[in-house]
Amino acid sequence: MIAIRPADKAAANEADVRRYSRLQSDSHKMTDQEFEAALDKAKEGNAPEIEPMRKIAYNDVAEELGCPDAGYKLKWNEHILAALA
């Protein structure tokens, strides 16, 4: 059973977006070593991924990009998750 609080998940993902956007804008001032250290630090706070949704999300992106045949073949339970997402 997957229990998700969408507002909390969305807030965590938005924090990830802001953190990586800051890193991208600051990266031109960094050496390779400084960038690697900053990237490692940014990764520490990443929102947890929901592994069972990975193929479903990939398929959604493939469809948005006009490549629906590039997606994964989903199992029956993944079709149910896709319908709920």
Alpha carbons 68 and 34: distance in angstroms, whole number: 39
Report the predicted TM-score, pTM, of the whole model to 2 decimal places.
0.52
Alpha carbons 13 and 47: distance in angstroms, whole number: 6
What's the pLDDT at 44? 85
DSSP 47: P
pLDDT digits (tens, 9 = 90+) for 30-52: 999 999 999 998 888 777 777 78
Q: Is 49 left (phi over 0), alpha (psi -120 to 50) or beta?
A: beta
Which stretches of the chain score pLDDT less than 70?
Answer: 1-4, 6
* Nearest partner of 74 among 58, 49, 24, 17, judged by Cα: 58
